[in-house]
Amino acid sequence: MSNAPQALVIGAGPAGLMAAESLARAGVAVTVAEAKPSIGRKFLMAGKSGLNLTKDESLDDFIAAYGDAADALAPMLRAFGPREAAAFAEGLGQEIFTGTSGRVFPRAMKASPLLRAWAGRLAEMGVAVRTRWRWSGWDGDACLFETPEGAVREAPDVTVLACGGASWARLGSDGAWAAWMGDVPIAPFRPANMGFVIDWSPHMRAHLGAPVKGVALRAGAVRSRGECVLSQRGIEGGGIYAVAGAMRDGAPLTLDLLPDLSEADIRARLARPRGKSSMGSHLRKTLKWSPVKQALLMEFGRADGALPDDLAPLIKSLPIRHQGPRPMDEAISTAGGIAFEGLDENLMLRARVGVFAAGEMLDWEAPTGGYLLTASMATGLWAGQHAAQYAGR
């Protein structure tokens, strides 16, 4: 391999590891530089609640989930989409299964077995991994690193940047790289897939920590059918994450507490004889809903201390008042990063020939549900393959 082209991959998350593997398969000598003491730290954290690899749905629907970035990402996702992501895990010895929602998981549910197998395969391919190497910018065409042994200068034939976004700084994604990107256009970082702050009234304390199931959430034109969780600090969970981008951008949030019933259905139920029952008991008996839904109605539905006479419209579209998103470093992912206008079709930086970028450091966002991981791997593969072609010229 002494005469092989030399490649440097900065960042050892899914995008960086995928780029490193594709480069190595093309016969390029690869060094991966990772700022943290070990690889894949955010990947491992994501897997603690069950590693959601991808989603089993039509490729067109899958691509559409990326919103404004769908067109830019489409070529990469058509080359490496849900089917390929599942096959990738199986190729590393991980049996997979598809849940009722279409989400695809490894049978082990954890990220660690997959990451160990992946690291082993990369080692067998000759990929060198350098941990505690923190990228600190450029010196001309060379990359500078702060390492335990002191400053290091690397001048490879080709470089792939896979430095992550700007959330979960303690796991390595702090967005610091944006400061030395020079003329590369950078969209401002914003939180994505995050919770929102709510200053709950005292009567909600008994319900904090409870899931709110079987609701539909709407923010602007975005609608999500799922569930959310009431926390000490506000509201979060998969249903919220699906509409979080629209909420972050100013769209008000409303909950349909009974999405399987129409307003007429609800009115008919509430019109049943109430007898001596309190309004609260009447609501529970006729609507057969959870205490947490009733608590939310009381929290956000009362005006001047009282509920309106016609509750049906409120139950179908309950406005949820909040104080904005949780801090960006608590977000699962971020929007913003390198704008696609600053990249060519191969993900090479227009301002730096021979330097490619991939993963969450690009300006795209998507809801949770396998979209984040699949696109990170897809862009890593795409950048690595085209970097290998460039290195081989």
- 112 and 77 co-located in one domain: yes
Percent composition of the chain: helix, strand, coil (DSSP 3-state, to 5)? 40, 25, 35
The order of strands in the sheet holding 253-256 is 196-197, 234-236, 222-231, 211-219, 253-256, 318-320
Which is nearest to 114 in space by CA: 169, 49, 171, 44?
Answer: 44
- 165 and 230 co-located in one domain: no
User: Is 274 in a helix, a strand, or coil?
Assistant: coil
Q: What is the pLDDT of residue 3?
A: 82
Given a cut of 80, is residue 2 above it in pLDDT? no
Residue 352 to residue 180: CA distance in whole angstroms: 12
Q: Is residue 1 part of a domain?
A: no
User: Is 288 in a helix, a strand, or coil?
Assistant: coil
Residue 128 to residue 37: CA distance in whole angstroms: 14
- Mean pLDDT, rounded, for 183-195: 96
Q: What is the pLDDT of residue 386?
A: 98
Given a cut of 90, is residue 50 above it in pLDDT? no
Q: What is the pLDDT of residue 48?
A: 82
Residue 78's CATH number: 3.50.50.60
Given a cut of 70, is residue 175 above it in pLDDT? yes
The per-residue pLDDT of the chain, averaged, comes to: 95
Residue 48 to residue 5: CA distance in whole angstroms: 37
Q: Is residue 238 part of a domain?
A: yes
Given a cut of 70, is residue 294 above it in pLDDT? yes
Identify the band that residue 185 occupies on the pLDDT scale cut at 50, 70 and 90: very high
Q: How many CB atoms lie within 10 A of CB 137?
A: 14
**Which residues have C-beta within 8 Å of that of residue 306, sequence separation ≥ 6?**
none
For residue 178 the two structure tokens come to 């944006």
Residue 295's CATH number: 2.40.30.10
Q: Is 260 exposed, middle or buried (0-12, 13-18, 19+ CB in 10 A)?
A: exposed
Q: Is residue 103 part of a domain?
A: yes
Q: Is residue 120 part of a domain?
A: yes
Q: What CA–CA distances, in Å, run from 67 to 60, 263, 327? A: 12, 31, 23
Domain end, chosen from 320, 353, 370, is at: 320
- 165 and 28 co-located in one domain: yes
Residue 377 to residue 327: CA distance in whole angstroms: 26
- 117 and 169 co-located in one domain: yes
- 207 and 308 co-located in one domain: yes
Q: Is residue 81 part of a domain?
A: yes
- 212 and 271 co-located in one domain: yes
- Mean pLDDT, rounded, for 178-207: 96
Q: What is the pLDDT of residue 1?
A: 44
- Mean pLDDT, rounded, for 148-176: 95
Residue 318 to residue 323: CA distance in whole angstroms: 16
- 28 and 128 co-located in one domain: yes
Confidence (pTM): 0.93
- 356 and 245 co-located in one domain: no
Which is nearest to 285 in space by CA: 293, 277, 276?
Answer: 277
For residue 11 the two structure tokens come to 């960042």
Q: Is residue 61 part of a domain?
A: yes
Given a cut of 60, is residue 377 above it in pLDDT? yes
- 174 and 201 co-located in one domain: no
- Residue 5 backbone dihedrals phi, psi, to 5 degrees: -60, 150
Given a cut of 70, is residue 114 above it in pLDDT? yes
- 37 and 145 co-located in one domain: yes
Domain end, chosen from 269, 290, 320, is at: 320
Q: Give the domain extent around 57.
A: 6-191+327-391
Residue 188 to residue 71: CA distance in whole angstroms: 20
Number of domains in the chain: 2
- 240 and 276 co-located in one domain: yes
Phi-psi region of 373 (alpha: psi -120 to 50; beta: other; left: phi over 0): alpha
- 212 and 233 co-located in one domain: yes
DSSP notation for 294-349: HHHHHHHH-BTTB--S--HHHHHSEEE----BPPGGGSSEEEEEE-GGGB-TTSBB
Domain end, chosen from 320, 343, 373, is at: 320
Q: Which amino acid is at 152?
A: V
